[in-house]
Amino acid sequence: MFDSDEISERLTNRLIRKKTAELGEIEEYQRRIKKTIIYLRNFIIVFIIIVVIIVLCLKVL
């Protein structure tokens, strides 16, 4: 049978693996959020540039 130290070590190792996996998922979500923010920022910049160009063209007419 297992002694209490071995059981404790197995449970500790299992918990460490679980928390490490959770941390990996959190880091992946953070990377996805950063990419999404960058894409959104770029979209807003391009949208503003297009609006400015349209406004300038309308002023010329």
Q: Provide the residue-wise pLDDT of the chain in tens; the chain has 61 residues.
A: 668 889 999 999 999 999 999 999 999 999 999 999 999 999 999 999 999 999 999 998 7
The pLDDT, as a whole number, for residue 3 is 86
The pLDDT, as a whole number, for residue 31 is 97
What element of type H or E holds 2?
Answer: none
Spatial CB neighbours of 61, under 8 Å, sequence gap ≥ 6: none
CA angle 15, 21, 23 (to 5 degrees): 100
Rounded to whole angstroms, what are the CA distances from 47 to 30, 50, 58? Answer: 25, 5, 17
**Cα dihedral sign for 10, 15, 16, 21?**
positive
The pLDDT, as a whole number, for residue 1 is 61
pTM score, two decimals?
0.66
DSSP symbol at 49: H
The pLDDT, as a whole number, for residue 27 is 97
The pLDDT, as a whole number, for residue 48 is 98
